Amino acid sequence: MDQIKTLRCASDKSISHRSAIFSSIASGKTTIKNYLFAQDTLNTLEAFKKLGVDIDIDKTKVTIKGTGKYLKESFDIINLGNSGTGIRLISAVCAGQSFLSILTGDNSLRNRPMKRIIEPLTQMGATILSRKNFLAPLAIFGKDKLKGINYASKIASAQVKSAVLIAGLYTDENVEFSEPQVSRNHTEIMLKQFGVDIISENNKVFLGKHRKLTGGFELNVPADISSCAFFMVMCALKPNCEAVFADCLINPTRTGILKVFSDMGVNYEIINKKTMCGEEVADILVKYSPNLKPFYIDGKILPTLIDEIPILSILALFANGKSILKDAKELRVKESDRIKSIVENLKKLGVKVEEFEDGFEIEPTKNIQKAYIETYFDHRITMSFSVLKALGYNLELSETKSPTTSYPNFFEHLKYLGS
């Protein structure tokens, strides 16, 4: 067995976004350690700078002097790049401001669905103009006093839930949100860190009377389990590999991949549990796992591992039977149509794969062919097939720049784990 390696993967993107957003609209000066310095999360910081927030950035931390809910009108259009979380959550902040904000993004983001947040924010009193089919750019005419809402979302979405809760900070009226299954709860956890009264009951969330955010403390962002997933899969597939992934987020709304690992027979162990940012965190030890079973993933678990589907499709190639994904239509409106992106690229490898409207079925293979991989500029597609390439398969990728949106030192870590 090779020497056990230790890797602290990229910091959590969801928590980094929220730490910047809530620190900006809180009172006091808040310090964020281990902030994710990637394109998506840096765009969030730039957005709040344009909205009048004093933000200091250095190599190890971000210091934000919050304004206490209300911001200044931007002289410019706010560009969120590739970030769906950025545009949807910041739209909610802008909904509570008494001025015009114009939010846009790159080509991919301008073609992602925004009706899901436009609908509740409009019901709460904001006026939002968009392109045809509710696409960005968004022109948001906010109000400093919004209306309350009892909103039942048709989809399990942390971004929709977060938008409603953030806009709810700008009203004294009742604010309730429900969803079919519980989605990521980072917003609820962090709002409590900032002193907001919030109650969660199963798949429902309620805002209490105290809605003022109080900063003036230090946040420490854990490693992103969605980013660690690429290297955990690599370790499971690499003979004689054994690695510890440090400070990894194990929030129950994000650990669906660990359940799938257990079902498939991936050799892993959770050690050194602790708390960071109010979140459950641990080190995860992963070892080479030569006897993998196929996965069956459907709607119940999907909200807890939606971002891990691309790398799990790579793991499925080495299972001992057909792996099946269902109820994942949401993957069609990510940075790319991820169902199409995965299926088309797997076919190029010579894999037998059947595409469904809401998923796919993958047959494992021992004969992975040389192929040109079209990444569609989707960071998770690029990183997933880069892992397969690092395992010794003859692949050429259409581009390798997209990981900078979420994991700037991905290839450096890939080389380290593969050495």
Judge whether 2 lies within some domain.
Answer: no
Judge whether 4 lies within some domain.
Answer: no
**Whether residues 192 and 273 fall in one domain:** no
Judge whether 5 lies within some domain.
Answer: no
145: which strand partners? Answer: none
Q: Does 18 count as an annotated binding residue?
A: yes
Give backbone dihedrals phi and psi of 205, rounded to 5 degrees, phi first. Answer: -135, 140
Mean pLDDT over the full length of the chain: 97
**Cβ–Cβ under 8 Å, residues 337 and 255:** no
**Cβ–Cβ under 8 Å, residues 322 and 313:** no
CATH of the domain at 336: 3.65.10.10
**Whether residues 201 and 266 fall in one domain:** no
Instruction: State residue 2's pLDDT score.
Output: 59
Q: Does 13 count as an annotated binding residue?
A: yes
pLDDT tens by residue, 151-194: 999 999 999 999 999 999 999 999 999 999 999 999 999 999 99
Alpha-carbon distance of 125 to 164, in angstroms, equals: 12
Ramachandran region, residue 271 (left: φ > 0; alpha: ψ -120 to 50; beta: rest)? beta
Instruction: State residue 393's pLDDT score.
Output: 97
**Whether residues 189 and 260 fall in one domain:** no
Alpha-carbon distance of 5 to 243, in angstroms, equals: 5
Quick one: pLDDT band at residue 3, thresholds 50, 70, 90?
A: confident
Q: How many domains does the chain have?
A: 2
pLDDT at 197 over 80: yes
**Whether residues 229 and 350 fall in one domain:** yes
Longest dimension (CA), the chain: 62
Per annotation, catalytic residue among 12, 247, 307, 378:
307
Judge whether 258 lies within some domain.
Answer: yes
**Whether residues 204 and 286 fall in one domain:** no
**Whether residues 255 and 215 fall in one domain:** no
**Whether residues 279 and 192 fall in one domain:** no
Choose one of 189, 220, 251: the last residue of a domain.
220
Judge whether 333 lies within some domain.
Answer: yes
Going 401 to 402 to 408 to 413, the CA torsion angle's sign is negative
Q: Does 184 count as an annotated binding residue?
A: no
Q: Does 386 count as an annotated binding residue?
A: no
Judge whether 3 lies within some domain.
Answer: no
**12 in catalytic set:** no
Alpha-carbon distance of 344 to 342, in angstroms, equals: 6
Choose one of 188, 220, 252: the last residue of a domain.
220
Judge whether 44 lies within some domain.
Answer: yes
Choose one of 220, 236, 261: the last residue of a domain.
220
Quick one: pLDDT band at residue 301, thresholds 50, 70, 90?
A: very high
Q: Does 97 count as an annotated binding residue?
A: no
**Whether residues 277 and 350 fall in one domain:** yes
- Look up the domain containing 60 and give its range: 13-220
**Whether residues 230 and 201 fall in one domain:** no
pLDDT at 1 over 60: no
**Whether residues 206 and 281 fall in one domain:** no
